[in-house]
Amino acid sequence: MLALPLTPPTSKSLANGALRKKLQGYVGFANLPNQVHRKSVKKGFNFTIMVVGESGLGKSTLVNTLFNAPLYPPKEHVPLSEESPKTVDIQVLSTDIEENGVRLKLNVVDTPGFGDFINNEESWKPILQTIESRFDAYLEQENRVNRSKITDTRVNACLYFIAPTGHSLKSLDIEFMKRLHNKVNLIPVIAKSDTMTNEEIVAFKERILLDIAHHGIKIYHALHYDCDDAETVNETKDVMSKIPFAIVGSDKLVETADGRQVRGRQYPWGIIEVDNEEHCDFVKLRQMLIRTHMEELKEFTNDIHYENYRTEKLIAMGFQQDNTVFREVDPLAKLEEERALHEAKLVKMEQDMKSVFQQKVQEKETKLTQSEAELYAKHKEMKDALEKQRLELEEKKRRIEQGRPLTPEKTKKKGFGFAAK
Ligand SMILES: Nc1nc2c(ncn2[C@@H]2O[C@H](COP(=O)(O)OP(=O)(O)OP(=O)(O)O)[C@@H](O)[C@H]2O)c(=O)[nH]1
């Protein structure tokens, strides 16, 4: 077996109770993302998008333009004599598209008939029912004994088409968004923005955002501002600043004055290019939906909209609420909990530091008292020695004055004569 040198754990590496060790050789689990990637590519990806808006706002054209494929067959014109639909008629279009070997199973939920009636008060109802019935289907599969194959048809994003009126939102728009914002990731778009001037678009966007804020509508907002990669953060901020996206759809190629073939719409005065960021926000919308935020839209669907729906449903069925679920999905509560933990840790650290400081002061004091006593003893010893010396000198002085010998007479020893001079 291969023995790998591991650095010993330090007090820092033991923080949070987790033992962190730094490897000093290559093990191979850095390949995990590639394994996940290969598996996901093999399985394919699944994405469900819903398009809602009044008839003729360019929903099918935009879906074709987004995925660069004729997903919607050319429309047959309904004879005038034919009766118009009595309710919003939900239609689903599923297709597999492939790019560089990566498969995407795309489901488009279309809502013809929305806003087409004399009384549109309840136009949102069948759409809400569709979203909820998809949550129900998922919940039912999750509760099965055998859950090995779950089909996910939950709606990941809802493109809501706003007519390019240049005024404020219509009551139909507000009603729809209010009814649906807690169930799905709402992404408002200004349809056929080529019918407005740049200044009109800027003013219309402002007005729409004010209306949305005023009515407390929650539209989709990417959260990943906290990632380390500055480029991704800027990209996300840039994309978010374009909401509501002013879009132009066209699946037709037109030739520009300089001979380029582009997807666009030709007018007597020039060409509007769909893929030109100076002409409209289509590129930004596509970037967000397909390139940068598809996975996050799916995460939001699962972690927020579905989780809320599931909780409500289970409570209604008499199940007890597990509060840890809320704690996990509520980022604010989690943040608050982390803050409290952090503060408690700081208080503990402060107390530890205080007690270490006190202990050190105590030790120092004992040492000082000890050396003071030692110094005192030494001082006393030296003082005594000096006193002794002084007495001896005084004795000598006295002897000299009295003419006596400096050293006391020694006892005469046998055989030796000793006489004082
Ligand atoms: N000016 C302009 N026209 C557009 C745009 N997108 C689509 N159209 C045209 O608008 C008409 C209706 O487009 P569709 O894509 O069929 O609209 P829809 O919303 O799917 O219509 P329904 O299926 O009836 O709900 C077509 O003639 C399109 O060519 C756009 O961005 N600008």
Question: What are 260-295's pLDDT values in tens digits?
Answer: 899 999 988 889 999 999 999 999 998 888 888 888
- pLDDT tens-place string over residues 153-207: 999 999 999 999 988 899 999 999 999 999 999 999 999 999 999 999 999 999 9
ipTM of the assembly?
0.96
Look at residue 417 in the predicted model and tell me its pLDDT.
46
Q: What percent of the chain has pLDDT over 90?
A: 41
User: E strands along 181-303, which residues?
Assistant: 186-190, 245-246, 253-255, 261-267, 270-273
Q: Give the Å distance between the CA of 45 and the centre of ligand 1.
A: 28
CA quadruple 112, 69, 95, 305: dihedral sign = negative
- In this structure, are residues 232 and 285 in contact, taking their beta carbons and an 8 Å threshold? no
Of the residues 57, 91, 194, 281, which should be mutated to test ligand 1's pocket, given the most ligand atoms within 8 Å of the CB? 57
Specify the residue with its C-alpha closest to ligand 1, atom 7. Answer: 58
Q: What backbone torsions phi and psi does residue 186 show, to the nearest 5 degrees?
A: -85, 130
What's the pTM?
0.70
Look at residue 226 in the predicted model and tell me its pLDDT.
56
Q: In 55-123, where does DSSP find H-type helix?
A: 59-66
Q: Which atom of ligand 1 is nearest to the CA of 247?
A: 31
Q: Give the Å distance between the CA of 98 and the centre of ligand 1.
A: 25
Helix orientation angle between 171-180 and 124-142, rounded to the nearest 10 degrees = 10
**Does 421 have pLDDT greater than 60?**
no
* Distance of alpha carbon 271 from alpha carbon 283, whole angstroms: 16
Q: Give the Å distance between the CA of 298 and the centre of ligand 1.
A: 27
Q: Give the Å distance between the CA of 342 and the centre of ligand 1.
A: 55
Q: Which atom of ligand 1 is nearest to the CA of 195?
A: 1
Specify the residue with its C-alpha closest to ligand 1, atom 6. Answer: 58
Show the ligand 1 pocket: residues with CB < 6 angstroms.
55-61, 75, 112, 192, 194-195, 248-249, 265
- In this structure, are residues 205 and 162 in contact, taking their beta carbons and an 8 Å threshold? no
Q: Give the Å distance between the CA of 282 and the centre of ligand 1.
A: 15
Q: Would you state the structure tokens that stand for residue 59, as one six-digit string?
A: 């929903």
* Distance of alpha carbon 221 from alpha carbon 102, whole angstroms: 27
Specify the residue with its C-alpha closest to ligand 1, atom 2. Answer: 192
Q: Which atom of ligand 1 is nearest to the CA of 75?
A: 16
Q: Which atom of ligand 1 is nearest to the CA of 64?
A: 15
How far is the first Cα of the chain from the last one, in angstroms, to the nearest whole number?
100
Q: Give the Å distance between the CA of 56 and the centre of ligand 1.
A: 5
Specify the residue with its C-alpha closest to ligand 1, atom 9. Answer: 58
CA quadruple 199, 63, 301, 293: dihedral sign = negative
Q: Which atom of ligand 1 is nearest to the CA of 249?
A: 31
